[in-house]
Amino acid sequence: MDSQYKIIHPVKYLQDHLAQDVRPDGRQFLSFRSISVNISSITHADSSAIFKIGNTTIVCGIKAELAAPKAESPEYGYIVPNIELPPLCSPKFRPGPPSDQAQVVVKLIENILRNSAAIDLKDLCVFKGKLVWVLYCDLMCINYDGSIIDACIGALTATLNTLTLPETLYNIETGSVSVNYTKRLKFPIKALPVSVSFAIFNDQLLIADPTDDEESLCLGRLTIVMNEDKICCIHKPGGIPISQDLFLRSLTKCKKRAELIRSLIDAAVSTIKQEHLNE
């Protein structure tokens, strides 16, 4: 009966739940879904991670390639994020060129990486003006169930945290490049941004970590990205107007959640280090 009601009357189904102070999946308004992180699952990528928030699953792989830098920024490398939202992950998406949503998510991820200063692009320089690393960060959504930005940022930071680049030497006289694949150096990460999403319903009702159903029926969405102590992105594209009080509540909630996610990623990264030591 419950599932039929949900299909026939999705809006009322959700509202009835919210009126009872509970969400359709049994969570409290401000409680989050469980997260799981798996690191270095793809052996052919330079580094990789699988990040899950509830059902939402993102796979991230980074491939590093050598290229010539731009003339106007001779000592900066590039980082090229890309997200794929295939029809596999949700019936909302159709095969074909990237949807508007995918483009917005990519742009947002790019902004977050730049604003949080997690990566110093100078670290990607091999030889000034001649050779730099390009990091292709490919994000693939396997299962789309809301809070996609949180999962993407989680997967990306976990991947960047385990990234190692082979030692590369550039000979200025002959212009030859020698890459030593056996000796890999850890790529330095300056910050660990964590993103937390909220959905807003009538009467300034704030819901944390919305699922896809909640996200598609909500009146407004809010994403906050935090570094250790600073905010590096507050993204609210529109929707229902919200008060300052709601911002404060979401910020305090975000701080707590960010600590948890950070410790989880750190724990996952440290297991990798342990394995290396044991070898």
Partner 1 sequence: MDTSEETSQSEYILRPMNCELNQLSMPDGSAMLMQGNTAVIAGIYGPVEAKPQKMIYDKASIEVSYSPIKGPTKVDDRMTEMYIKETCEAAIIVTFHPASAICINVQELEDSGGMLGCTINAACLALINAGIPMKFTFAAVNCMIQEDNEDIILDPDSIQLQEAKAEFTFAFDSMDKNVICCYTTGCFTETEFLKAMDRCKQASQYVFDFYRNLVKKYANVI
Which residues sit at the interface with partner 1, rule CB under 8 A?
Answer: 100, 103-104, 106-108, 111, 115-117, 220, 227, 229-244, 247-248, 251
CB of 107 to partner 1, least distance (A): 5
Residue with smaller CB distance to partner 1, 2 or 100: 100
What span, in angstroms and rounded, lies between the C-alpha atoms of 180 and 167? 5
CB of 156 to partner 1, least distance (A): 17
Q: How many CB atoms lie within 10 A of CB 245?
A: 10
What span, in angstroms and rounded, lies between the C-alpha atoms of 103 and 111? 12
CB of 54 to partner 1, least distance (A): 24
Contact present, 14 and 203 (Cβ < 8 Å): no
Residue with smaller CB distance to partner 1, 80 or 88: 80
Residue with smaller CB distance to partner 1, 68 or 248: 248
Quick check: helix, strand or coil at residue 64?
strand
Structure tokens belonging to residue 235:
């993204």
CB of 262 to partner 1, least distance (A): 16
Residue with smaller CB distance to partner 1, 177 or 231: 231
Quick check: helix, strand or coil at residue 28?
coil
Residue with smaller CB distance to partner 1, 35 or 102: 102
Strand order in the sheet with 205-208: 205-208, 194-201, 220-226
The whole-angstrom distance between residue 177's C-alpha and the CA centroid of its chain comes to 33
Residue with smaller CB distance to partner 1, 240 or 272: 240
Q: Which residues pair with 37 in a beta bridge?
A: 51
CB of 112 to partner 1, least distance (A): 10
Residue with smaller CB distance to partner 1, 182 or 244: 244
CB of 101 to partner 1, least distance (A): 9
What size, in residues, is the chain? 279
CB of 145 to partner 1, least distance (A): 21
Q: Which long-range contacts (CB under 8 A, 24 or more apart) does 185-189 make?
A: 187/123, 187/160, 187/163, 188/120, 188/123, 189/118, 189/119, 189/157, 189/160, 189/161, 189/163
Burial 203-216 (b: 16+ CB within 10 A, else e): eeebbbbbbbbbbe
